[in-house]
Structure 1
Amino acid sequence: MTIPFVDLKTQYKNLKVSIDTAIGNVIEETAFIGGKYIIEFEEKFARKYGVKHFVSTANGTDSLYIIMKSLGIGPGDEVITVANSWISTSETITQCGAKPVFVDIDPDYYTIDETRIEEKITSRTKAIIPVHLYGQMCEIEKIKSIADKYNLHVIEDCAQSHFSKYKNKKAGTFGIAGSFSFYPGKNLGAYGDAGGLITDDDELALKCKMFARHGALVKHKHKMEGINSRLDGLQAAILSVKLDHIEEWTAKRIENAACYSQIFQNNDHVITPLVRDNSVHSFHLYVIRVKKRNDLQNYLSKKGIETAIHYPSPLPFLEAYSYLQHKRKDFPVSYHYKEQILSLPLYPELKYDQISYIAESILSFYK
């Protein structure tokens, strides 16, 4: 049996008629940049997510940068974020001219340890970017409470948490804004780079939209300098089709994750992901912790099972951040877990016999 880490081909086959029609319509109308397909997706996403504004961008990285720039974050400022995430979260802080300040992860849920945030706040701190990693919501109410205490912005990185919930409120709706990636492998993925941001703040939405479109809402009427970060018509049309299926897909991801956890239960070799109380984990990734991780990964590869590591190095220990001179003791949980975490195949199209084959293969490795 051969099992890919993500099976976008099967997803396409299941939606082939709708996807092909959407692509064909865009090409027929040459609606490649701007136009009705962008408007349709922005309105559709905002409506389904229950927010006032959704601003589409070229990718998820840009959406973080655009939010921070529109909030006036710049040189001399500091922004707090988590030690274990994709580099987009931190590099956009630097791109704004600010300094990323890292916080270790919670040992149980792998999101930012909210109990360690307050000690990192200084007079230069302007915002906190919690990352709802793997689809797991942070302790976002506690983070928001800390931010309110110090008059800081909360910008939620929702690149892996489309439609995750905490106390029945969706990821991205607790802070001033939420950033999304629609990279092909995401729970809601385009067929190329794509992203967007949500906010209920009218002024911020206007600034973000303007900044993402060369500083102009009307062509040649530039009120400021901005950047070129536009979602294209093809990706918008594809995402509009897929958006109709996101709730069904999320339910299937949760179901598949439960299947894994049930097979692994009461096993000392595999630590399965927990789900925070009062939350809906959308399971962008199903991440286990194991000993002999690299040997296990090689073993699974030989059995036709593709896995991944998210992420092999915590951000503070990348060469890009060597100037910060962090030590292992600064982020002990992140550093310890980096040799243990392993992401297993998880997607709506994954069948039970495939899940069983993967899980039993892992258990057989430790016999």
Structure 2
Amino acid sequence: MIPRIFLMVGLLALVACGKDEPQEGPARPAMVVQPGAAGAAASAYPGEVRAQHEPALAFRIGGKISRRMVDVGDRVKAGQALAELDAADVGLQLEAARAQLASAESDLALADSELERYKSLLERQLVSRSLYDARVSAQQAAQARVRQAKAQAAVSGNQATYAVLRAPKSGVIAQRLAEAGQVVAAGQTVFVLAEDGEREVAISVPEQSAADFVPGRELLVELWSAPGKRFPGKLREIAPAADPQARTFAARVSFDAGAGRAEIGQSARVYALADDSQALAVPLSALHEKDGQPALWVVDPASAKVSLRVVKVGPYGETAVPVLAGLEPGEWVVAAGVHLLLEGQRIKPIDRENRPVALAAAAPAPAAADAR
């Protein structure tokens, strides 16, 4: 009996000793990446394709619109008639100006003949010098009245042509702000013309980013009709003051769509790359939190174990976030399933294609921040 008791005590001691040793389970597969350059992270701004030149078209005289020949979206050519006013009044003004010119020319002819007669009489000393000078002055006044009447007739003739509103350049009617039968004042906008030529994207820049947008900054433009294709663009102008209601700054980004067509009114998106090329970036899916602060699971290449490290991040991008402090180039971080890990847990590192990753031999991958 005594040997059997000693045997049972020995087995219990072995079991107790085994419980003191940690039982390490199998390594959990986890996708890992290395931080890339922050330039891979970009802020996106929605916008609309606009023409670089969009003049407001208006009549140079006031009147009642008798006819409108185009509508929004119509393509027009330079010199094409867009609308016209009731020309009855300007026609009467032109006739009156021409009648005044004819009267002034008749007065001038009479003054010329009177001057010739007084000149011959003066040579024969039949009239005084003062009477002759009076005729000379009357003839000069008649000449001035003819010049005045000609100028007034020319103005009236121009106003008659102003009754027809014509397109200054070829393009597309972007807006229509008046209708047939409406009485408009001189200079009141009737149409807005989007001229053919260079295209731009109109965007609104928030106040916190306005300081980073200076004319000439390189940007990228992506059309909704051509997803995945980004065209090089450049900031042409930005408003000096914010919109009083939206509190955003209106900006225009010029770009070249190459062989593709960018139609007026198309939706687009402008990407602004991060200015700090020294910062690193990781996918948004790699972010976790520790004590309310952003953190990353950093992998030890030697042991393949993870540790949660607090980092300082910059403004969030569409798919990535820049890491300003707390991470070194070449370090490996877990990019997916971060909420399933524990401190000190051993992982089986894999890439996006579910292939094993050799942590010690891998080189930094600048494109890692593009992971979705």
- The interval holding the TM-score normalised by the smaller chain is under 0.3
Greater Rg by CA = 2
> TM-score of the superposition, structure 1-length normalised?
0.19
Higher helix share: 1
> TM-score of the superposition, structure 2-length normalised?
0.18
